Amino acid sequence: MRGRHDPRGSRPPRRAPPASKGDGETLGVVGLGHVGLATAVAFARRGREVWGFEVDPERARGLQEGRPWFAEEGLPESLAQCLRSGRLHVTADRGELLSHAQVIFLCLTTPSRPDGSVDTRFLEEECGRLGTHLRDEPGVRTFVVKSTAPPGTAEQLAIRLEKASGRARGTIPVAVNPEFLAEGSLLKDALNPSRIVVGAEDPVVGARVLSAYRGFPGERVLLTSSEAALVKYASNALLALKISFANELAPLAERAGADVYRVLQVVGQDPRLGPHFLRAGPGFGGSCFTKDLRGLQAFARDRGLSLPLVAGALEVNARQARHVVDLLEGALGLLAGRTVALLGLAFKAGTDDVRDSRAYPILGELLKRGARVRLHDPVATENFRRELPTLIAHGGGDSVSFCGSLSEALSSSEAALLQADWPEYRDAPAELWQLLGARLVVDARRSVDEERLRAAGIRYRALGRDPSWESGPPGTRARVPGPRFRRKASNRTPRPSSPNP
């Protein structure tokens, strides 16, 4: 990374000076969505006093009563605990927030515009409102952008805050503190970050933000604001590239008599690469990867650059839904008039978030080929139903129905296609799968116990594996035996394994 003021080129991240002032400061979190609520609860769990601001009064009331508005394992219990302890307060009043908090984390949505660029208007508008309330609040407030936003956003927000508050230029510090949280493990990730990255032009401001993380594990890294913002985009882009590489390899493995999971398991043993995110599946979804890759493309495009690797990752992801349906059609035959159970509507197990779920394009492809589809998810059905009219408006409404139970979905279908690896599917007894008319399961997540299904007479088609393997009896492989994951004895000292990416 090239330092902006260092003609010699690369320089290491700056070491933060020790922070003594500010250790007792109260924290604020603006926007109690997935990231904001997990952040607020994690700070409170680590002993900080936190004031959370939620603009939606109904959501704020629910949170004050200990009821998160989205599903996330462990969050309701931790929220209730923090409220009872008095370390966490929820308000819908900006003035009340600013009267208590000195370091304020901004956790607002930054959606994509049609051209892929990042829409920061929610951040900008909220900073204008907060700045107006600052007119009545003496003292210094430090604002921290935790939302994923392009380099340069922090500087623009500082100007917005200063204009709205009537304060002089340079008097309201704004830092960047990207989040590295995954839905399904939001609270765990927030409590135990792998690294804590803060971007600030003034090291004293950076140290003040880092002091908020007193008691948290994770390496502390202090960068400039632009560098910290780019770290977030680069991290998500690289993770998405690993997923798309695995998905690009999957069809090749199917035609080469190989199992892509067994191949990539060995590839991931290389400490330079690591196994994480090297798994083929229906593609990446959720609120981050697609949005952030498109945002990174737009940021580069505005500066006269192209990012062909990022474009390739998005292209592979877009076509993966078609490949998953191809697997189903190859095993079941033409889909026109056939009934299929699509299992898993959330973008992944462990959450009710359906944003950019791969279930949408898979459903669209099934309808395009004339299938009737029965939908099921343990927790995300209502969220998926709300987003569905856009797809249904283009035809197929009579061919889609929601099922209240797994048995209902399977008993009315010929085959099942697994999109999300919920434990309800992994642990389902073989008798349930026998309800399928054609006794066919296509597993896009490779999560169900194949041997158990095949022993019960269920045909199992696996993503990324030669389909002829399904003809062999349970416990065998009809074609390529694949690698044996057994290390040979060696006198060499083993190399240390790589840290998690």
Active site residues: 288
Rounded distance between C-alpha atoms, residue 398 and residue 416, angstroms: 19
| Cβ contacts of 404 within 8 Å, gap of 6 or more | none
Rounded distance between C-alpha atoms, residue 438 and residue 332, angstroms: 8
Q: Are 441 and 415 in contact (CB under 8 A)?
A: yes
Positions of E strands within 163-266: 174-176, 195-199, 219-223
Q: Are 349 and 423 in contact (CB under 8 A)?
A: yes
Tokens of 238: 């690289």
Rounded distance between C-alpha atoms, residue 296 and residue 202, angstroms: 26
Looking at residue 165, the DSSP 8-state letter turns out to be: H
Residue 369 CB neighbours (<10 A): 17
Q: Are 106 and 27 in contact (CB under 8 A)?
A: no
Residue 115 phi/psi, 5-degree rounding, is: -85, 5
Classify burial at 263, counting beta carbons within 10 Å of its beta carbon; exposed 0-12, middle 13-18, buried 19 or more. Answer: buried
Sign, CA dihedral 256-260-264-266, equals negative
Rounded distance between C-alpha atoms, residue 8 and residue 301, angstroms: 28
Sign, CA dihedral 286-288-32-210, equals positive
Task: Give SS3 for 438.
Answer: coil
Residue 411 phi/psi, 5-degree rounding, is: -70, -20
Rounded distance between C-alpha atoms, residue 267 and residue 253, angstroms: 14
Q: How many helices (H) and strands (E) does the chain have?
A: 19, 14
Q: Please work out, in degrees rounded to the nearest 5, the angle formed at the alpha carbon of residue 363 by the alpha carbons of 361 and 367.
A: 115
| Helix-helix angle 121-134:153-165, to 10 degrees | 30
Classify burial at 338, counting beta carbons within 10 Å of its beta carbon; exposed 0-12, middle 13-18, buried 19 or more. Answer: buried
DSSP 7-74: TT-B-PPBPPPP--TTTTPPEEEE--SHHHHHHHHHHHHTT--EEEE-S-HHHHHHHHTT--SS-BTT
